[in-house]
Structure formats: structure tokens, C-alpha cells
Amino acid sequence: MAAPTPAPSAVKSGLEGVVAAQTKLSMVDGQNGVLIVAGYPIEEFAGRVSIEEAAMLLWTGRLPDKEEAPLLQKELAGYRALRPETLEIVKTARNAPPIDALRMACATLSLDVSNPNDISPAGDLALAKRLLSRFPTVIAAHSRLRQGLDPIAPRSDLSLAANFLYMTFGTEPDPMAAKALETYWVTVADHGMNASTFTARVIASTRSDMVSAVTGAVGALKGPLHGGAPGPVLDMLVDIKTADRAEAWLRKELGEGRRIMGFGHRVYKVRDPRAEVLAKTAEQMAGAHLQNAKLYELARAVEKTALRVLEDLKPGRNLKTNVEFYTALVLQSIGLQPDQFVAMFACGRAAGWCAHVMEQHAQDRLIRPASEYTGPMGLTLDR
């Protein structure tokens, strides 16, 4: 009997253009360079609200008012400490990359919840608060341990960002650095149906729990095509050294078939609006420190040259500045190492991941796409 003829292909490679869900959380307009987070343009939002407030907006649909905001910060601060079991995992992973340590630790962050499988709105919210509050503690503890230092217990009188800096460096946090980190976390809190968010929603769609879904999201973020490029931006700037070397360096890299880190985006065909926000933050940090100022001036010169060279060598590709370019400058300016950058991304994106898990649980619909079979058919066994 002849094998059946496959139906005409309707495959969208990489799910390009496929709408997989309806969401109230964020909207990405790549043609016009617009990012809306729960109703607010990112330029209106980042730098003016805390990550705690941004998270509650995503989780509940509204920002806390002036009376609620300090109570929220105090409540979330109460969740920052790690259980001994989690800290032991971080110790065991002290020599692993920070994003791997975070992935391992994330799976344990529901150990103090009586019913971690509760996917009701209340159950999801309880776990979301713990995840957002504890991610920075995990990364700070890992940073200390790999330097041979003891972790520092969290303080409850500081914001999430300021407390992270305190736990990492062991000194009173610089308010400007804390503000820069907070702005970064809010800027990356949610961004449409990206790979890690889609991963979280697929897991949640099976009625699996919040922590399982977010652990999967961390694994997806680790991939260099999603969250792994800010560090190489710094490598590029260090290698270029001076603005007058930029064009020759860029043309050589492109001529040898390599990507220019910090430029181009799967969705944005114009400059990433998050890059606009973080460029201003990097400029503010540069104004406070001579070393940061030199790197910032080099980055601005390299950006200008790169846009010109990319348009010359790859016309029509619309390879514009993306969020990673200025992320590298902001995180470097507050004293973090490049291999920590992806884990820091996760701290901000945790707010969005948790919100999407809540939304998917409420929709209660299994995500189960079809596939097109391309293998052999009609084989028989000769035995």
C-alpha cells in the first residue's frame, strides 16, 4: 500500500508570526520600536517605579499606591533569606556559572510552602513573591562563595536592588548604583512571547506549578541566542580599545562571518526601546566615575560606527542597537562580572515569568502545537 501523501506544509520556522496566546502583560511592536508593559510605555515606566512595584503591576494589574508600596517592600523583604537546603546547593555549585547555580537553586525555592502544587491565584502569588525576592539572594551568595567568602544575610530595610548590592559587596550600597540596577530590572521585566516566557507558559499549561515553570524558563534564558550576549559586548569594547580602531575591527568581524554583539533583534527592526532607557542609565553612571565615562564614550563611538558599517555591509537587515549593548555597560558600572549578566537578567524577568504563569493557569489550556513529519514512511521489517 502506498504511503499517504503529506498535506501541504504550513510550518512556520521558529514559530515566526504565530500567535500562541493572548496576554495583558506586555506588547512588543518591533516595526515602530515600542514596548508596552501592562499599559505603560517602557520609557514612562522604567526608572520611575521599583521592581517590586513593577512586579505587582504584572501580577495584579495595578501599581501599589503610595501607602501600599512600603508595605509591599517590607513583605517581599521577609522572603529574601534562603533555606539551608538551597544554600547548600549554591555552595555545591560555587564553581558553576551563575545562571546554572540559579537554575539549580530555583527548583528548591518552594520548600517552605505547604502546598507548592497549588496553582490557584493565591498559591501562584505566594510563590511569585518568593521567587522574585530570592533570586538576587542566590546570585549574591554564589558571588561571595566563589570568591571564598561567606554569604551575607539579607537586610529588610533596603530595596531589592540595594539589598543585592549589599549582599554582594558587603558595603552600604551606592544609591546611584542601586537605582541603575533597579531601572535595568524593570526594563527587562517582561517582553512579550520570548523563548523563556514561552517555555514557562508551556510548562504551566500542563497544570504544573509555578516553580517548575520558572525553573524551565531559567534554562531557556541560559541559551546564548536568548539571554547570553551582554558579556561579549564588553569583550568587543575591550578588544576594540579606541574609537579609531572600531571600523576596521567591525569590518573584519563581519567579513569573517561573525555577529556584532549588541546589534540586531528577532523582533525589533528599529532601535530597541530598552536600549534607549539603558543608554540614559549608563550615561548617568558614567558621569559619576572616570573609568565608566571612558568606556561609555567608547561605546557611543562604537555604536555609531557599527550602525553605519552594518547598514553598509548588510543593507536592509535593519540591525539596530538592542538591549544587550547598554545592559553590558550598566551592569559593569555597578561592579558585576560578565558571567553574572544572564543571571541578573533572570532577576528582572522573574517578575514577567511569574505573571505569565499566572495568566496561563487562569486560561487553563494545554499548549500542544502540531508538527510536520519529515521522516520515512511505509517501512517493513525483513526478519
Catalytic residue among 265, 303, 356, 361: 265
Taking Cα atoms as reference points, which of 269, 262, 266, 268 lies closest to residue 298? Answer: 262
Please spell the DSSP secondary structure of 144-199, one letter per residue: HHHTT-------SSS-HHHHHHHHHHSSPPPHHHHHHHHHHHHHTS--SS-HHHHH
- For 360, the enclosing helix (H) or strand (E) is helix 341-363
Q: Looking at the chain, how many residues does it have?
A: 383
* Angle value at C-alpha 351, between 343 and 129, nearest 5 degrees: 105
- Whether 253 contacts 302, CB under 8 Å: no
324 part of the active site: yes
297 part of the active site: no
Dig out the grid coordinates for 161 from the structure: 536592588
Cell numbers 537605582 correspond to 179
* Residues paired with 28 in a beta bridge: 35
Please spell the DSSP secondary structure of 264-326, one letter per residue: --SS-SS--HHHHHHHHHHHHHHTT-HHHHHHHHHHHHHHHHHHHHHHHHSTTS---B-HHHH
* Angle value at C-alpha 286, between 164 and 174, nearest 5 degrees: 30
331, with CB counted inside 10 A (0-12, 13-18, 19+), is: buried
| Rounded Cα distance, 38 and 49, in Å | 13
Catalytic residue among 182, 253, 324, 359: 324
Q: Which residues are the active-site residues?
A: 265, 324
